[in-house]
């Protein structure tokens, strides 16, 4: 395995214009992603978590260049993909795929499953229709469906089965990186477990790297090697899954973990309610974006934005507490 990361994000920014027109300047900007940096290794599953509206999905689309960044750099296998035109991007698009959140709207109801799964393969002119169909049949079996399902339409399947079809479609060009955007949030809990286990198995079989986007911490803890927490367009904590679960250092991360229901009725959860609403990404707070809702904030928090700094080996946090090391286990 190469030491260089498969994906490297450097100071990525995406601001959407608000108001204005063709000739008029925008009246304001929505700061959806605001200076995000991280790297994903080959074969790694990297989680992005946070509340709705924190910029996770926008970041996933930026990684695949489905939308263009305002600034920053996206490197895939050492190549700055922001410098490539549409023709130069085509070979890389085969190596990067996406699994969409909603299995009901992401499949064309007018197309048979055969056409849906093999659609990405049509760009490969060397494959015959028979070869494409055989590839689709093989992938359907990999995701727990049958070859005979190729002749059916999406409405003939349940939500979990539709998401399996979406997974098969993402695998058909043998990608190296898959952005999984809330792939199980629209499914029942029992079906969620089946799809997560399937993704985990496929990762090992095909040596995949995942950017796994979710607001469900229990799902991310199960499948991811490292986790980054986003708040209002920025990463506030990044750590291995073990460190993330055992010793979170950002007050926001700790609040998210304490909000997860405990399966043990004899254990009492610590009260740690986040007060107030998420600030607007149009006019985010100065300094640390979380300081208006943080019970530990002090003057510096409202005046200076904390950098994402390494508190301990492999554990990064953007917090001024304890000389930029964030919260300790005693707090």
Is residue 270 over pLDDT 80?
no
Mean pLDDT for 50-71 is 94
Is the pLDDT at 267 greater than 70? The verdict is no
Contact 219, 192 (CB under 8 A): yes
Measured CA distances, 59 to 2, 28, 35 (Å): 25, 20, 11
Return the pLDDT at 45. 97
Q: Which of the residue ranges 127-131, 176-180, 217-221 would you say has the lowest mean pLDDT? A: 127-131
The mean pLDDT value of the chain amounts to 90
48, 56 Cβ separation under 8 angstroms: yes
pLDDT at 1 over 60: no
From 92, 69, 85, select the one nearest 7 (Cα to Cα): 92
Residue that has been written with the tokens 């060009």 in this structure: 173
Q: What is the pLDDT of residue 109?
A: 93
Q: Can you tell me the mean pLDDT for 196-224?
A: 93
Mean pLDDT of 128-157: 92
Residue 68: Cβ-neighbour burial (10 angstroms; 0-12, 13-18, 19+): exposed
Task: Return the bridge partners of 74, or none.
Answer: 9
pLDDT at 269: 56
Mean of pLDDT values over 255-263 = 78
pLDDT value at residue 272: 58
* pLDDT of residue 142 exceeding 50: yes
- pLDDT of res. 2: 56
283: confidence class by pLDDT, cuts 50, 70, 90: very high
Q: Cα(51)–Cα(219) distance, rounded to whole angstroms? A: 14
pLDDT-based confidence at residue 294 (cuts at 50, 70, 90): very high
User: So what's the pLDDT on residue 20?
Assistant: 76
Confidence at 185, pLDDT banded by 50, 70, 90: confident
DSSP lists the bridge partners of residue 96 as 177
Out of 49-53, 263-267, 274-278, 323-327, pick the least confident.
263-267
Kind of pairing between the strands at 177-181 and 209-214: parallel
pLDDT tens for 11-34 read 999 999 998 777 788 889 999 999
SS3 per residue for the chain: CCCCCCEEEEEEEEEEEECCCCCCCCCEEEEEEEEEEEEECCCCEEEEECCCCCCHHHHHHHHCCCCCCCEEEEEECCEEHHHCCHHHHHHHHCCEEEECCCCCCCCCCCCCHHHHHHHHHHHCCCCCHHHHHHHHHHHHHHCCCCHHHHHCCHHHCCHHHHHHHHHHHHHCCCCCEEEEECCCCCCCHHHHHHHHHHHHHHHHHHCCEEEEEECCHHHHHHHCCEEEEEECCEEEEEEEHHHHHHCCCCHHHHHHHHCCCCCCCCCCCCCCCCCCCCCCCCCCCCCCCCHHHCCCCCHHHHHCCCCCEEEECCEEECCCHHHHCCCCCCC
Is residue 152 predicted with pLDDT exceeding 80?
yes
d(CA 196, CA 180): 11
With bands split at pLDDT 50, 70 and 90, how would you rate the model's confidence at 102?
A: confident
48 bridge partner residues: 213, 228
pTM of the full structure: 0.91
pLDDT level of residue 104 (50, 70, 90 thresholds): confident
Paired strand residues for 214: 49
Percent of the chain whose predicted confidence (pLDDT) is above 90: 69
Check residue 262 and give its pLDDT: 64
Q: What is the pLDDT of residue 42?
A: 96
Measured CA to CA, the distance from residue 93 to residue 255 in angstroms comes to 37
pLDDT computed for residue 188 by the predictor: 83
Mean pLDDT of 37-49: 97
């Amino acid at each position: 395995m190469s030491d260089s990361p498969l994906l490297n994000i450097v100071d990525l920014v995406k601001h959407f214009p608000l108001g204005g027109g063709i000739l008029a300047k925008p009246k304001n900007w929505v700061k959806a992603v605001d200076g995000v940096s991280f790297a994903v290794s080959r074969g790694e599953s990297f989680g992005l978590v946070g509340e709705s509206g924190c910029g996770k999905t926008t970041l996933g689309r930026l990684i695949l260049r489905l939308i263009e960044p305002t600034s920053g750099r996206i490197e895939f296998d050492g190549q700055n993909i922001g410098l490539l035109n549409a023709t130069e991007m085509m070979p890389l698009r085969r190596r990067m795929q996406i699994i969409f959140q909603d299995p009901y709207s992401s499949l064309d109801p007018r197309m048979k499953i055969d056409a849906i799964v093999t659609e990405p393969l049509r760009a490969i002119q060397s494959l015959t229709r028979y070869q494409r169909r055989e590839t689709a049949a093989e992938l359907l079996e990999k995701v727990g469906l049958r070859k005979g399902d190729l002749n059916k339409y999406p409405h003939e399947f349940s939500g979990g089965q539709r998401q399996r079809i979406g997974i098969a479609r993402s695998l058909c060009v043998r990608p190296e990186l898959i952005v999984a955007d809330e792939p199980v949030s629209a499914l029942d809990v029992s079906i969620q477990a089946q799809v997560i286990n399937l993704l985990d198995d496929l990762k090992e079989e095909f040596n995949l790297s995942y950017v796994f986007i979710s607001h469900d911490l229990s799902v991310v803890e199960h499948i991811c090697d490292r986790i980054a927490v986003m708040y209002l367009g920025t990463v506030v904590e990044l750590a291995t899954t073990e460190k993330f679960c055992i010793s979170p250092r950002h007050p926001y991360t700790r609040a998210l973990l304490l909000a997860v229901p405990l399966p043990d009725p004899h254990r009492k959860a610590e009260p740690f309610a986040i007060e107030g609403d998420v600030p607007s990404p149009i006019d985010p707070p100065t300094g640390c974006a979380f300081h208006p809702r943080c019970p530990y904030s002090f003057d510096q928090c409202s005046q200076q934005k904390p950098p994402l700094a390494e508190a301990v080996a492999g554990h990064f946090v953007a917090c001024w507490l304890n000389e930029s090391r964030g919260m300790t286990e005693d707090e």
